[in-house]
Amino acid sequence: RHPINIAIDGPAGAGKSTVARLVANALQYIYVDTGAMYRAVTAVALERGIPPDDEEAVGRLAENLDVVLLPGDEGQRVLADGTDVTSRIRTIEVNRNVSRVATYEAVRTKMAEAQRRMAKAKGVVMDGRDIGTHVLPDAELKVFLTATPRERALRRFKEMGDQANITLKQLERDIAERDRMDQEREIAPLLRAPDAKFIDSTGRTIEQIVDEIVEWGRAAS
């Protein structure tokens, strides 16, 4: 057996991060959450008062910001210039601005380079929007994971817990808007790679999906 790379792409709230983390555990691979990197740039921009609409300023920030993902027992940590920003990247404010930030070429180029470096030695499960199509087109296993918009909003709603000063309906709208921007952007939009295996997770358990992907991963390694 030789280690491979596994790309898991799909829209917001499809369960990618949970599934990717469990697949990585089962195969003893490293889990890389690429969304966390776009979120870190967005969170730092907001904290520094850089308007998310200002492509040039946000691009400059991304080029100079050192975003590092640290795999850990209690989940992945995200560092921006050495500061742990993990707890600050999942706010409603970041949710609402991240897809705009992720349209910028300078931001995407910087993130994709870092992601390719992390996958160089193989043995990585990477989740995102453009991993199978753009970041790792040679990944040995590609999965496109989705679920109905309703189910995806419900999952995110439960995840947000007491931070939920947002209604399910509003969350559904936010997710739909994020998906639209991710699909319609010019650079590396969200789409299913022709060679990606398709999974609709609606009504299926996480365990079933993880088992399926782990089996494919073993067969390909």
Residues between 7 and 46 with contacts to ligand C5P, criterion CB under 6 A:
12, 34-35, 38-39
Was 12 annotated as part of a binding site?
A: yes
Report in angstroms how near the CB of residue 191 gets to ligand C5P at its nearest. Answer: 12
Report in angstroms how near the CB of residue 203 gets to ligand C5P at its nearest. Answer: 21
At residue 62, the 3 state secondary structure works out as helix
- By the rule CB under 6 A, 102 interacts with ligand C5P: yes
At residue 125, the 3 state secondary structure works out as strand
Report in angstroms how near the CB of residue 139 gets to ligand C5P at its nearest. Answer: 13
- By the rule CB under 6 A, 149 interacts with ligand C5P: no
Beta bridge partners of 200: 146
Residues between 115 and 144 with contacts to ligand C5P, criterion CB under 6 A:
128-131
**Residue environment code for 47-68, b if the CB has 16+ CB neighbours within 10 A, otherwise e:** eeebebeebeebbebbeebebe
- By the rule CB under 6 A, 174 interacts with ligand C5P: no
Which amino acid, 180?
R
Instruction: With CB under 6 A as the rule, give the number of residues binding ligand C5P.
Output: 14
* CA-based nearest residue to 16, from 190, 220, 219, 221: 190
Was 75 annotated as part of a binding site?
A: no
Which amino acid, 12?
A
Cα angle at 10 between 6 and 12, to 5 degrees? 130
Question: Binding-site residues for ATP, please?
Answer: 10-18
Residues that bind ligand C5P (CB under 6 A): 12, 34-35, 38-39, 98-99, 102, 128-131, 178, 182
